[in-house]
Chains A and B, each alone.
Chain A
Amino acid sequence: MYSRTYKTAITIPPLAWVVAFLLIPYAALFCYSFWSVSASQTIVHHWNLGNYFGLLRDPMYRTVLARSLLVAVSVTVCALLLGYPVAYYLAFHAAKRKDLLYQLVIIPLWASYLVRGYAWKTILGTDGVLNGLLQFLHLTGHPLEFLLYSPFAVVLTLTHIYTPFAFLPIYASLEHVPRHLIEASHDLGAGRWATFRRIILPLSLPGILAGATFAFVLTFGDFLAPLLVGGSSGVMISNVVVSDFGAAFDWPMGAAISLCMLVLVVALLFSTERLERTLGPR
């Protein structure tokens, strides 16, 4: 057994990390969310619920929050629809190409987020690659404006960025589906589709849930993609937080929004975990 001293010694670093970078910042955020900003641009340490009432009253927040949720749901759905077939192919049919294809799916993660964001800006812009191609092919007479600076562009960019995150847990869960269960299903007369629907899909649900959670939570909190390709119509809730802590200088409001987002995300994580436990092997 390990000595008491040793146990204490190895517990201190992670504990210190959690306190310094998690508990203290959240505590500070919590306090700020109940304070306010005076007309002279200073933070008044006067405890009130004004920020939260403001959040409920001002329709701007509701619009942006609804848009953020919609974008997050869209990206999640797209990432699952793209990630699942790729994961399925890799897990069951890729054979010798498996390692190569796996690397190809993962490679975008090695490129900087900003690079990928700017790449989409270049592709989608009015003078961009896509519009150039469309005009060259005479599919359109003038550059399509909606491609860039729109919620569409945000969904497209974030789908590209977060699909690997959805792919990875799905792939892992499919790899863990015991092959003899698939053989048993075929043996009992169930064809490929029936086997997929009744054996493979249910057994990969934990992976789907994990992948969906990744895609949703990461998208919901994203502010760079809307900043790069979203324009004014693509503003998301995190952009409001960024501006509150920056140019707008309304730290208390930013803190209040952050805490609301945190509660939403934690509730989501909690419910997916519950869902996973109900759906998983009994």
Chain B
Amino acid sequence: MTASKPLAASSASAPGAWPPPSEPALLSVRGAEKRFGQRPVLRGLSLDVAAGEFLTILGESGSGKTTLLRLIAGFDELDGGEIWMGRERLDGQPPYLRPVNTVFQNYAIFPHLSVFENVTYGLRAKRIEAQEISTRARQALAMVKMSEFAYSAPSHLSGGQQQRVALARALVNRPRLLLLDEPLSALDANLRRQVQIELKSIQREVGIAFLFVTHDQDEAMALSDRIALLREGRLEQVASPREIYTHPSTAYAAQFVGQTNLLQAEVHEGCARAGSLRWPTTAPAGRTTFSLRPESIRLATSLEKARPAESVVVARFRGRIRNQTFGGATVLVEIDCGDSQIVRARIPNSGLRSAEGEFEFEFNTEDATPVEEAVAD
């Protein structure tokens, strides 16, 4: 698959997709190639970032997401392709001339400078007037709630506080695009959720485009206007979190963003068959892979009146519960439907009294999404 196809498709069709079609791209990466020795890391990657959007590059470690960020920041040089910001070509320029700023994974706070000196570093390098430097630094520190630590030494700060300083140090320069390289990965889970919310509200407040790199799909879904899913140096899908979750374009995307059941089905005369499962579909005849989210499957109720709207077609199947994993409000159950077909379903904790015997399950047929079984070479 190509990177441009889902990008165009998502911006045209999906509701709430970013960017609005009239908006010109803020940053444009065109056919980026990068090799480390013989190993290709980016293979002809193209991506547009719109002004003011929160775009997340999501991918496994080694997928090239940090490399892409370093290429945009200027720490590494492209082997092929171009990077543009408006009418200005960025690739080939040294990092200190590029109008972007970075928040590093390990924060990269200067240990010999105070918090205030760290935050004013970029403004002083640009020889901005002292009065303005001081005002802007104070504003930036207030925004990340670090005003009281202005004259502290970085070594006396916690990881979360250093992270805030790193954010203030970058934002104070008012770049049009901020690059964030897994900035939350060093924080513990609770703090991480809190900082996620703050990060998103700060981004809305300042209106600066964020290009955010992470391997955490939940983080990507919670924060992003759009997610660019990266796989082995190529874009798998670029779409809004909702779009990528409900309509993953490939089996990989379906598996990486959330959990899913991949059903290898044979479609014949408008009916898909996978093992003992059967459901009507509009997909063309032949072999097709369908993605069916575990939470789309529920215990079939005998209460016919609880049925949803007319237009919804429901498919039913029977199976035994092989295994269950407790997950708080829900239970993830493994259902053996016979013919060696295993399906996982996420059902409410209260719905299942006993796991003994055979149960009847159901799902809305529209939730079974056909996906491309793309194999990365």
Contacts and interface: CB of A to CB of B under 8 A. Distances in A.
Contacts of B112: 202-203, 279-282
Would you list the 5 A-B pairs with minimal beta carbon distance, nearest first? A188-B122, A282-B153, A184-B108, A190-B125, A281-B111
5 contacts: A178-B108, A183-B102, A189-B125, A189-B126, A281-B112
B87 to A, nearest CB: 20
Interface in A172-227: 178, 180-181, 183-191, 194-195, 198-199, 202-203
Interface string B99-131: 011101010101110100000011001100000
B362 to A, nearest CB: 53
B94 A184 contact: no
A25 to B, nearest CB: 41
A183 B100 CA distance: 13
Contacts of B110: 181, 184-185, 199
B108 A190 contact: no
A281 to B, nearest CB: 4
Contacts of B101: 187-188
B275 interface: no
A187 B101 CA distance: 6
B323 interface: no
Centre residue among A181, A202, A279 by max chain B CB count within 10 A: A181
Contacts of A178: 108
A184 B108 CA distance: 6
B106 A180 contact: yes
B125 A194 contact: yes
Given A180-B106, A194-B125, A282-B153, A187 B111 contact: no
B169 A188 contact: yes
B96 A183 contact: no
Nearest to A194: B125
Nearest to B152: A282
B125 to A, nearest CB: 4
A202 B113 CA distance: 10
B117 to A, nearest CB: 9
B74 interface: yes
B104 A186 contact: no
Nearest to A187: B102
| Contact-size category for A | 20 to 34
Nearest to A199: B110
B10 interface: no
B164 to A, nearest CB: 15
A186 B155 contact: no
Interface of A: 178, 180-181, 183-191, 194-195, 198-199, 202-203, 279-282
A202 B75 CA distance: 22
B173 interface: yes
Contacts of B170: 187-188
B335 interface: no
Given A181-B110, A282-B153, A187 B125 contact: no
Interface in B301-354: none
B73 A188 contact: no
Given A281-B112, A282-B155, A188 B106 contact: no
A194 B124 CA distance: 10
Contact of B108 (A180, A195, A282): A180
Contacts of A191: 94, 96, 125
A50 to B, nearest CB: 50
A188 B111 contact: no
Contacts of A194: 125
Nearest to A183: B75
B111 A185 contact: no
Nearest to B97: A189
B105 to A, nearest CB: 8
B52 interface: no
A234 B102 CA distance: 57
A186 B95 contact: yes
A198 to B, nearest CB: 8
Centre residue among B101, B111, B114, B173 by max chain A CB count within 10 A: B111
Nearest to B100: A187
A242 to B, nearest CB: 44
Interface in B155-205: 155, 169-170, 173
Given A281-B112, A282-B112, A185 B121 contact: yes
Given A183-B102, A187-B101, A189-B122, 5 more contacts: A183-B95, A184-B104, A186-B95, A199-B110, A279-B112
Contacts of A189: 96-97, 122, 125-126, 173
Nearest to A205: B112
A202 to B, nearest CB: 5
Contacts of A184: 102, 104, 108, 110
Contact of A187 (B95, B114, B126): B95
Contacts of B97: 189
A198 B118 CA distance: 11
Centre residue among A187, A194, A281 by max chain B CB count within 10 A: A187
A133 B56 CA distance: 68
B106 A186 contact: no
Nearest to B101: A187
A178 B170 CA distance: 19
Nearest to B166: A184
